[in-house]
Amino acid sequence: MPREDVVLTTPDGRCPTSVFTAEAHETAPAIIFFMDAGGIRPAVFAMAQRLADAGYLVLVPDLFYRYGAYGPFDPVEVLRGDFRAVLGPLMATTGNAKAAQDAGAVLTYLDTRRDVEGSKVGAVGFCMGGGMAIAAAGTHPERFAAVASLHGGNLATDAPDSPHTYAPQLAASLYIAAATNDASYPPAMAERLETALREAGVPFQAETYPAPHGWMNPDFPVYDEAAAERGWREMLAFFERELR
């Protein structure tokens, strides 16, 4: 089925959102896809469609809508230069708390569709999106059953909206896939997050892949096909267990 493009109204404006479905399924569990800092681009759509083809209705909100028009960016070109100068202004317009707020608009929209199976949804986030997915599930615990973070960064910091602070509110199960030697998610930070989850009684699985930060993204220069395929297998098995 062709991609559907809708515009959702949030407290901060109008958020373009793309919806992906699998033709073989009349109804399917919904998953919100939280993008990485590279923004909306063909590779993100391809990943969302792959998830939809596995039997899910996938929604991809453009979390940089507060910034205005941009890109699409080619991560290879961006990472060759000063990527913070390019992506920093866009990233500054969003954050974990704002993304969680935006998720409320996505959930409201989901309630208008007849092709959604059940009221519980999943979330998946890549890089910066990993923390956003956790924050969304902690903000709307009655709606989220499963959250997957793939090479998510800054998951336990001193920021007031740090993902680990949402642990007491979480009602979802988590799958946390970390990268090797990831400066944005070092072992001490992983321990801080996992301690918060254990203390809150949140069921989770955490593992570290022998791959660099960003290994799942097919348009990243560090893309690792073998590790990415393993990531897809683990993520899909997780959602199968928790959302079906």
87-96: pLDDT as tens digits: 999 999 999 9
User: How far apart are the C-alpha atoms of 156 and 5, rounded to whole Å?
Assistant: 33
CATH topology for 4-243 is: Rossmann fold (3.40.50)
- Predicted TM-score of the model (pTM): 0.97
Judge whether 38 and 75 are in contact, CB under 8 Å.
yes
Burial class from Cβ neighbours inside 10 Å (0-12, 13-18, 19+) for residue 241 reads: exposed
What percent of the chain is modeled with pLDDT above 70? Answer: 100
| Predicted confidence (pLDDT) per residue in 4-27, tens digit | 999 999 999 999 999 999 877 789
| Phi and psi, residue 138, nearest 5° | -75, -25
Are 32 and 61 contacting, i.e. CB atoms less than 8 angstroms apart?
yes
Which sequence spans correspond to the domains of the chain?
Answer: 4-243
For residue range 174-219, list pLDDT tens digits in order.
999 999 999 999 999 999 999 999 999 999 999 999 999 999 999 9
| Lookup result for tokens 């989901």 | 110
